[in-house]
Amino acid sequence: MAPGGISPGAASPAPLPHETLKMFGSPLTGRRLWIAALIVPPLAFVALFVVYPILSAFAYAFFEWKGLARGEFVWFANFHKVLFQEPYATWTINAFLHNVFVFFALMVLQNGIGFVLAYCLWRELPGARFHRIAVFLPVVLSTIIVGFLFKLFLHPLFGVVNISLRAVGLGGLAMPWLGDDSTALMALIIANAWHMVGFPTLVFLAGMQRIPGEILDAVRMETQSEWVKVSKIVWPLVAPSATVVFTLLFVGAFNWFELPYVMAGLDGSPHGATDVLGLYFYRTAFGNQSGGAQDFGTGSALAVLIFLFIAVVAGFLTMYLRKREIQL
Amino acid sequence: MRKTFIRTTAALGALLMALPVMAQELTFWSWRQEDKAQYEKFIDTFEAQNPGITVKFEAFEAANYNTILSTALAGGTGPDLFMSRAYGGLETVASAGHLMALDTTKIPALANFTPAALNAQTMRSDKTLYGVPFASQTMLVIYNKELFDKNGIAEPKTYDELKAAAEKLKAAGLMPFANGTATAWQNETIVSALGSSIMGKGFYEDLMAGKADFTDPRYIEALAKLKEMSAYFPDGFIGLDYPSSQQLFTSGMAGMFAGGSFELANFAKQNPNLKLGVFAAPGKTVEDDALVGLFIDGGYAANAKTKHPEAALKFLNYVASKEYGQAFANGLRNISTVPGVTFDDPLLAEVAELNKNAIPYIMLVHFRFGEPSGSVLLQGEVQKLLADKATPDEVGKALTTGLANWYAPFKK
């Protein structure tokens, strides 16, 4: 296709008169067509594979489903079921609260430790080069591998955690970590933090490396205190990095699925102690072997609620964090 | 030369166009990836008997099988033949109307099947049969004969003897049971495998008649005894997942495994030197029936929209035949539901014998038709029970009130 030529792939409003066409109040020149030709395919791709599925999930949520056959239009019945009708209401709240807990716990364990690690790497403590790679290495691993690895670590009989505890005389602390409802969720959170801590570290580190040298020199004239330096200079100046990792963590924590699926199973074993919205949605929409039917309507209602919650809160969170970047 | 070429091409073209009419190609979906080789043998036999029909076996991951199948059926790209789940799992697929209705005029051999087997492939709402049931599974206790002999233990006839046997194994430094309960569904199998004789036939009949619910003292006692027996499970068993507990048993570290007869083939494969035995977990006294828990695994069904209905029915008739049942039992070491099948394998013969004195695997057979399903409730509640987070009474109550959400006889 020659630049400026009308391409059949450009999907511009047809039929086109020859020379010029009024579009958005300006002549449709060759350059514009060229831009359109470049933008339309990816836009169509996004529309087909992102917008369409989201919209269809919205639509599905308003119907009754029998297996995979769509039944009647039922208004908000599915939403009502998920939010107010037993046993769904209890399950929804249980899973949601776990997601909230996961978010805050990972905020500390993943982003908090990530920040500290980034600071240590940035300050070039001994071995910083090696550690920069070591910290990021687990991020490269697949969640499935990390999940199985931690399942082995936490194995009640042969797991390295319990064996080590017994070896140092702390056998009393050896636990069936993934089977006890008081430790199971925390075990998953720690596995996730170990897996992903390299990501916030890298983002924070990049942020720190962007801090201009003059500012740091100026600080050095004022104070020797690391704490002042971190809290008054570094932390405010990496605010854009914080915006990124906080928002991504929020979205990730409420979409959490793979790790609980691998380590705890679809039911959020034991007795729902590790149940999160992702597992709950999957079970509801697609069914599990022990459950009843697959229910696309209820599942879609749940998916829509999760989507709306994440979109709205992430929106406000981003707005707040952006504002904060400027204030600091 | 050129003429010959044209003629050959024309002849070949005509043949190619005629082939689809001559050969009827059927696709057959399954969730048994591990049985592919055996199924291909069964299919070879069928194809030899029915020239012109070819069957292509395709296996999918078991956990997502129903989703894959129902998506394909809804999209019109489904297989001609497929394995269907039983009970609630059948209904998810059948309720959308994609399955061919079956009866004894289409498959005469079905007349001899047991009602319990046919019930598993019948949808409750239209009382129509949709599949040819293929296997039953039994919940019982599998034990390591060598370890039992070495420690002078005989198959226990009462609950107290079972406890004494466990005690002996423990004293010998072994794990009495290999069971772990971190994998949710394992909590359901142990209730049936260890508790069926304690709850008894009377309880099951009353439950079905609407005269009893899960707060019944007989059921509560079964739960209490299960809790008691869990003292002989491995250390930290609540964190022990299903594959680990299988390995504990096959490696000879544990004497017993309370679970399904479907483990037998797998155990024998994992460790061919293992000498396996089975028994029904006993009741309180010798007079009590020693019962196993029984359910039907699945069936063979046909797509209502298949292009070759006659060929599909031929295949279903084949899998309902005694010849197939026998080949299935010998090849896959499973209890075929086809009547009159005999078992060369002594272990299988023993399971078939035990099946004569059974109650159903209750939650799967009767309580997977609504939300929350009895299985999901039981699995979670037993996890609580075994972790000291609930008493047997509380479990019984939670099951009954949970099921009252959709099970009419429990609604008050």
d(CA B224, CA B51) in angstroms, rounded, equals 58
Q: What is the pLDDT, as a whole number, of residue B225?
A: 95
- Interface contact B239-A87, CB threshold 8 A: no
Residue B173 Ramachandran class (φ > 0 left, ψ -120 to 50 alpha, else beta): left
User: How far is CA A208 from its chain centroid?
Assistant: 23
Tell me the shortest Cα–Cα distance from A320 to chain B, in angstroms.
40
Q: Please determine, for residue B18, whether its predicted confidence score (pLDDT) is greater than 60.
A: no
Tell me: the pLDDT tens digits for B116-135? 899 999 998 889 999 999 99
Q: Please determine, for residue B13, whether its predicted confidence score (pLDDT) is greater than 90.
A: no
Tell me the shortest Cα–Cα distance from B381 to chain A, in angstroms.
7
d(CA A193, CA A134) in angstroms, rounded, equals 14
d(CA B68, CA B114) in angstroms, rounded, equals 30
Considering just the CA atoms, what is the radius of gyration of chain B in Å? Answer: 24
Tell me: the pLDDT tens digits for B309-358? 999 999 999 999 999 999 998 888 889 999 888 988 889 999 999 998 99
Q: Tell me what ipTM this predicted complex has.
A: 0.79
User: How far is CA B132 from its chain centroid?
Assistant: 14
Q: Please determine, for residue B23, whether its predicted confidence score (pLDDT) is greater than 90.
A: no
Residue B411 Ramachandran class (φ > 0 left, ψ -120 to 50 alpha, else beta): beta
Q: What is the pLDDT, as a whole number, of residue B308?
A: 92
d(CA B110, CA B401) in angstroms, rounded, equals 38
The verdict on B250 touching A (C-beta cutoff 8 Å) is: no
Tell me: the pLDDT tens digits for A234-289? 888 999 999 999 999 999 999 999 999 999 988 888 888 999 999 999 988 877 77
Chain B's closest residue to A287, CA to CA, is B67
When pLDDT is cut at 50, 70 and 90, the band that residue A10 belongs to is very low
Q: Please determine, for residue A2, whether its predicted confidence score (pLDDT) is greater than 70.
A: no
The verdict on B77 touching A (C-beta cutoff 8 Å) is: no
Cβ within 8 Å of residue B279, ≥6 positions away: B140, B141, B143, B155, B156, B290, B354
Tell me: the pLDDT tens digits for A185-228? 999 999 999 999 999 999 999 999 998 888 888 888 888 888 88
- Interface contact B371-A270, CB threshold 8 A: no
Mean pLDDT of A120-145: 89
pTM over cut 0.90? no
A269 burial (CB, 10 Å; 0-12 / 13-18 / 19+) is buried
Strand partners, B141: B258, B279
Cis peptide before A260 (omega within 30 of 0): no
Shortest CA distance to A289 belongs to which of B220, B242, B245?
B242
The verdict on B352 touching A (C-beta cutoff 8 Å) is: no
Q: Please determine, for residue A14, whether its predicted confidence score (pLDDT) is greater than 60.
A: no
Cβ within 8 Å of residue A81, ≥6 positions away: A88, A298, A301
Q: Please determine, for residue A328, whether its predicted confidence score (pLDDT) is greater than 70.
A: no
d(CA B152, CA B170) in angstroms, rounded, equals 13
The verdict on B365 touching A (C-beta cutoff 8 Å) is: no
Compare CB distances from A290 to B73, B92, B373 and report the shortest one's residue: B373
Interface probe, candidates B84, B238, B399, chain A, greatest A C-beta count within 10 A: B238
d(CA A266, CA A257) in angstroms, rounded, equals 9
B65 against B412, higher pLDDT: B65
